[in-house]
A = this chain, B = another copy of it.
């Protein structure tokens, strides 16, 4: 700004300063007096110009950087500030809206993006091969789309089976330039499973819980194939996948890999119960929608004039089989729906005749949580008139009732019936057909009936070392500390020309062994804290040394203490992240390893530490309150503030900015409009 312009503004400005009205007002006198201490002439000068009309550039000045308008009126000043605040806020909101529209307008593409593209002949006509002579997808149709994707063609091929917690955690942490990534999954989206119970009653929308895999893959320029993994040819490094073509016929083909990550998850455990075709599950989006539709269907049927009272009570009796987090959260969400939304628009009779039951085989619900937490949840449900039936086992699910046996306090077992219009089955996990196929194929290397066994580097036991990994619900980490270390010692002994059976370990040797155990089995570290105590305890002959038998017993004891990792999103997530970091490290090292001609052997162990699970705590929503089990006896439970905390945790864990926004919108929707009781 030029100084002459500034000068002009100054010349006019003082006229706007209002001065004390009249000296007859005693307060004004005081004010006047006080000001003269520092600034004696100003008020007089201003006062003489007081009655001047508004200058022409008043409005220009109002948004300039010139001195602010002066007034001694408390009210005027307050109004000025309030107006400024209101105006400012409205302006910001207005500007945001306009900015959004401008941005929005820029998202509409006008011109079609047709252009010639390169295509490998092999992408259109894949060659056949492998043990079953199926087409082998060596080149994808998107491989030559851009410079960037072309550059990936020569990289090692990383194939991920499954787009759940494990697979997505891996994709999110993987360096984008190191691997040619392909994800194979029957669903083209990642599902934020912990919030699925919320979606069954419409607290959240299903679309807010999912993120397209392709969007996640975008970062590492990966490819997605919507298909089902059927088998793996380990020696040919081929995954056999199947997909229905447009006529519903099954098509099978191979996808080659250099590294394969199995993260296919699990299915529901039927526990050998009859009639599960009458029950609902809660594993995927479709399940959630089916549940929602059935719940509302039951409400609508209960409203019909032809429905008898008995039938109405049955329709409105909701049974949850399984007192784990999923079952408990579903019961809580259902109760919320009934309590907050149903009574608003449906006849009151329905509200009176509704009942919610949880059937739990253990003595408490949430039995993997701290006992205080379980008790809090039970008390809460008790207050909310949710019926918790502990020590009960479902024997059969019929169309209109559930038959279960309950162990009474006196130890007797009583068989009971519960008429029901809806039964949710949420009792643990089972391996998928694909996992079972693989376990069979690998024979003796796989001994666990419930999951695929891996070593602590998450490599699938029995598969060629460093080719195949398994993470998440479909896998379990084998912690046979005793066997491994004994083998290790034996090799050591033979090398030194000693007989392992006669070896004697001094405390310093034992310390060395313990260090090795810690490195190989990080999960065991916790049980190796007091080495001296352990040494003393198992040195039964007080010889000052451990012999082979004593060592085996010591390590066997540790084995027993190691529990298998929980089948949770948290574990899968950590395993996915672990693999991503390891793969990144291995890619960085690969140049060096190639130069040193190191191609085989235990590259994983050479490059990266073994996997260690860190339990960060469990949480559950239990109906206008939430519980947190933070491990080691720490736990929190509380009302609405805990609910908001519970939401914050999941909000933060959510997979993308997009899902976070949608979840926030959904919660706002619930607050503003309630849940929709509509089915489609």
Is A151 part of the contact surface with B, judged by Cβ < 8 Å? no
Which B residues touch A30, using CB under 8 A? 3, 7
Contact assessment for A251 and B304 in the assembled complex, using a CB-CB cutoff below 8 Å? yes
Closest chain-B Cβ to A249's Cβ sits at a distance in Å of 11
- B31, B41, B306: the one contacting A39 at CB < 8 Å is B41
Q: A11 to B37, Cβ gap below 8 A?
A: yes
Q: A35 contacts which chain B residues (CB < 8 A)? A: 10
CA distance A315 to B80 in the complex (A): 65
**A527 interface residue (CB < 8 Å to B):** no
- 7 of the cross-chain contacts (CB-CB < 8 Å) are A3-B30, A40-B45, A68-B81, A88-B89, A108-B640, A117-B348, A662-B669
- 0/1 per residue, A66-86, Cβ < 8 Å to B? 111111101101101100110
B210 touches A678 (CB 8 A): yes
Cross-chain contact A123 with B305 (CB below 8 angstroms): yes
> In the assembly, what is the distance between CA of A533 and CA of B674, in Å?
61
* A331 CB to nearest B CB, Å: 14
Q: Is A59 an interface residue (CB 8 A)?
A: no
B-binding segment of A223-231, A389-397, A560-568: A223-231
**In the assembled complex, which residues on chain B have CB atoms less than 8 Å from the CB atom of A494?**
none
| Known pairs A77-B67, A207-B205, A305-B140; A188 contacts B300 (CB<8 A) | yes
- Shortest distance between the CB of A672 and any CB in chain B (Å): 7
How many whole Å from A13's CB to the nearest CB in chain B? 9
Interface membership of chain A positions 34-71, coded 1 if the CB is closer than 8 angstroms to chain B and 0 otherwise: 11011111100110010000000000000011111111
Chain B positions within 8 Å of A103 at CB level:
671
Nearest-CB residue, chain B, relative to A345: B214
Cβ of A351 within 8 Å of any chain B Cβ, yes or no, is yes
Do the beta carbons of A45 and B49 come within 8 Å of each other? no
- Asked if A218 meets B345 with Cβ closer than 8 Å, knowing A31-B6, A40-B41, the reply is yes
Stretch from A240-248, A268-276, A513-521 at the B interface: A240-248
Assembled-state Cα–Cα distance A497/B78 (Å): 86
What 1/0 flags go to A669-680 for Cβ under 8 Å of B? 111111011111
Given contacts A38-B46, A88-B84, A349-B117, contact A214 B301 (CB under 8 A): no
A220–chain B nearest beta-carbon distance, Å: 13
A671/B347 in contact, CB under 8 A: no
Q: What residues of chain B lie closer than 8 Å to A64, measured between beta carbons?
A: 78
Point out the residue from B1, B11, B339 that lies within 8 Å of A112, measured CB to CB: B339
Q: How many Å from the CB of A291 to the closest CB on chain B?
A: 14
CB distance from A189 to the nearest CB of B (A): 4
Decide yes or no: A343 and B113 within 8 Å by CB, A70-B70, A100-B671, A247-B399 being known contacts.
yes
Q: Please, which residues of chain B bring their CB within 8 A of the CB of A189?
A: 676, 678, 680
**Chain A 109-154 interface residues, beta-carbon cutoff 8 Å to B:** 109-110, 112-115, 117, 119, 123-124, 126, 135, 137, 140-142, 145
Specify which chain B residues have a CB less than 8 angstroms from the CB of A89 in the assembled complex.
Answer: 88-89, 91-93
Chain B residues in 8 Å Cβ range of A678: 187-189, 207, 210, 212
- In the complex, whether A613 has a CB less than 8 A from a CB of chain B is no
Asked whether any CB of chain B lies closer than 8 Å to the CB of A416, the reply is no
Kindly list chain B residues whose C-beta atoms are within 8 Å of the C-beta of A306: 126, 135, 137, 243, 245, 251, 253
The 9 residue pairs across chains A and B that have the minimum distance between CB atoms? A142-B347, A65-B78, A137-B305, A104-B671, A89-B92, A214-B345, A85-B88, A88-B88, A226-B300
Nearest Cβ on chain B to A86's Cβ, whole angstroms: 8
| Bound-complex Cα distance A306 to B138 (A) | 11
Q: A65-B75, A107-B670 are in contact. List 18 more A-B contacts (CB 8 A).
A: A40-B41, A41-B41, A64-B78, A67-B71, A67-B72, A68-B68, A68-B70, A113-B343, A117-B349, A135-B306, A142-B303, A142-B346, A145-B347, A225-B303, A246-B298, A253-B306, A286-B680, A665-B665
A38 and B49 form a contact (CB under 8 A): yes
Question: Which residue of B84, B246, B421 contacts A311 across the interface (Cβ within 8 Å)?
Answer: B246
> Do A66 and B77 touch across chains, with their CB atoms under 8 A apart?
yes
- Look across to chain B and name the residue whose beta carbon is closest to the beta carbon of A213: B678
**Nearest residue in B to A62 (C-beta to C-beta)?**
B81
Chain B CB within 8 A of A27 CB: yes
- In the assembled complex, A595 has its CB within 8 A of some CB on chain B: no
A446 to B97, CA, bound (A): 54
